[in-house]
Every structure is written in C-alpha cells, then in structure tokens.
Structure 1
Amino acid sequence: NDGTQVPVKIVYEDDGSFELEVGSPPTAALIKKELGIEKGSGYAKRSFVANISVEQIKKIAIQKLPGLLSYDVKNAAKEVAGTCVALGITIDGKNPRDFKEKVDSGAYDDILSE
C-alpha cells in the first residue's frame, strides 16, 4: 500500500453480482512517483520542475505498455515523454519535445531495445 491512485471500474450484473477491474495508474502518477515529486509545473512550456532519465522513461513505458496504443517500448516511451511535456519535466536535461525525434533517429536504441 504505497498510496498510488489507480482507476477502478465496478461492473454490476443484473443478478446482484459485481466485478472489480483495477487499472494501471495514470502515466503522470507513475512519473511523479518515480521522481518523488507531488505535482508538475503550472507553466509546463516555460518552467521545468524535474528531470527524468531515459532509463526511467523505459521503466514506466514497460509498466504502461499493456494499456497503451503503442506496440513496442520505443513508441510507449514516446507516449510517456508526451506526459513529461505536460508536467514540465526534462528528459536527460533536455526539452522533452526533442525526445521523439531522437528516438525516431535511433539515438536511444541501445537503451530502449526490448
């Protein structure tokens, strides 16, 4: 019990039975937990509140992969990076908007290979 919030869906049946479906925590929650921060930047495009490594991005991408539209870790990492943009978090000290192009060019293939 680490306090991580997760989405929960309760499905009630006509006979009174029910089923609980526990989802994966939101990507933003995983990033904030990984970095030990409470919240993102209120000015994400201008003010950065933390830095995350590509290795940490990969860890979160692997956790989220089953619930994402992405079909591999590289593309899942780009989705995680998109959340970093919204939170105001740099990736390896650089603007997270540049991450997608670097991934596409193969700059992180050694780290993001499965």
Structure 2
Amino acid sequence: MKNVPTKTIKIMVEGGNAKPAPPLAPALSQLKLNVGEVVKKINEATAQFKGMSVPVSVEVDTNTKKYTVSVGIPTTTALLLKEAGANEPSGDTAHKKIGNVSIESIAKVALMKKPSMTCKSVKSAVKSLLGSAHEIGITVDGRDPKEMVKEVDEGKFDEVLNKYEEKWNGETQ
C-alpha cells in the first residue's frame, strides 16, 4: 500500500463559531480546499461546545483533497465554567465564588473528559474534578467541593454516580 500524503491542520476554535479567517483560511486555501465548506463542517461538528474553546484537527489527503474534521474535548475548566454558567475562573477562590453546579454535573463532565483522563472509575474522575471546581471558584451543591471528596469516598453520592459508572464502564473509548 502506497503512503497517502496527508497534512493536518490543528487549531483552537470557539465551538460552533469558527470563522473563515486567519489562521484557518490561509492554511485551508494553501491546500486548495473550499474554506467556507470546511468552516461549515467545523461549526457543525463543534456546535455542542458553543462558547467554549475546542481543539480541532483537519486531516487532508493532499492528492484527493478529501478531509476529515476531528473535534477534541474542551478543557476541564471550560466544561466546568459552562456547567456553572460562568465566563471565567474566580481568580480569588477563597473569597469569590463564580457559580454552583450539582454533583450530577460533575459526573457528566467526568464522562465527557473520560478519553483524556487516566481515572479508572467515575468516582476517581469526580474527585479529580471536584478539585478543579474548587480551584476555579465553583461550589458543588452549594458547598466547597474539597469538602465533598471524602463523602464521595464514603459512598454518599453513589446513587447519582452509579448511573454514570455504568456509562463509564459501558463506553469503549
């Protein structure tokens, strides 16, 4: 089998809002691709991450001009901020809280981040995300997330987390 010459363009875009402008447009034009068409495909593929920065790769077969758009996962901070309805981290987490999320929201983010996490279970992923929530000034169920880590270990949230554990274990990634 002959090697297919491919070129990969990696870029961060706002979910559902990529623009046919630099640095994307020149890179696509150079490869003789229809910039508007590729941008439309990127926006469709990233629509679920509206308002968040999302890593995107466009892999192009330079012979046939066929391409595939691959969407990465937004950062943990971006996902937590979206869940909390906040725009940016607190900057002063001891005195300024920027939002509140439920333990269920934390589990949902854990599931989204699974491909990039090394955790073996939803519980361990949730504990990691509770630390992240604390660091950016988000409370969980109206409380300091750091206080909840022990309760996760004690099984206090098992009823909520178990349904995510099934999805965690059932997904092949």
Does the TM-score normalized on the shorter chain lie above 0.5?
A: yes
- The answer as to 2:141 corresponding to 1:92 is yes
Structure 1 segments of 4+ aligned residues over 2 angstroms from their partners: 7-11, 19-23
Residues 6-45 of structure 1 correspond to what in structure 2 (within 5 A)?
A: 6-8=54-56, 22-45=71-94
Q: Following superposition of structure 1 onto structure 2, how do residues 1-114 of structure 1 map, counting pairs within 5 Å? A: 1=16, 2-8=50-56, 22-113=71-162, 114=165
Shift of 1:22: 3.9
Distance 2:69 2:85 in 1: 29
Listed one character per residue, the Cα deviations across residues 22-69 of structure 1 (whole Å, up to 9, x for unaligned) are 421101100111222111212112321211101111111111112111
How far the C-alpha of 1:7 sits from its partner, in A, is: 3.0
Larger RCO of the pair (alpha carbons < 8 Å, separation 6+)? 1
What percentage of aligned pairs have identical amino acids?
37
Asked which structure has the greater CA Rg, the reply is: 2
CA RMSD of aligned residues (A): 2.2
Aligned length: 112
1:22 and 1:74 mapped to 2: Cα distance?
A: 26
Structure 1 unmatched runs, 5+: 12-18
Report the TM-score when normalising by structure 1: 0.83
Q: Structure 2 length normalisation: TM-score?
A: 0.57
For residue 84 of structure 1, report the CA deviation from its aligned partner. 0.5
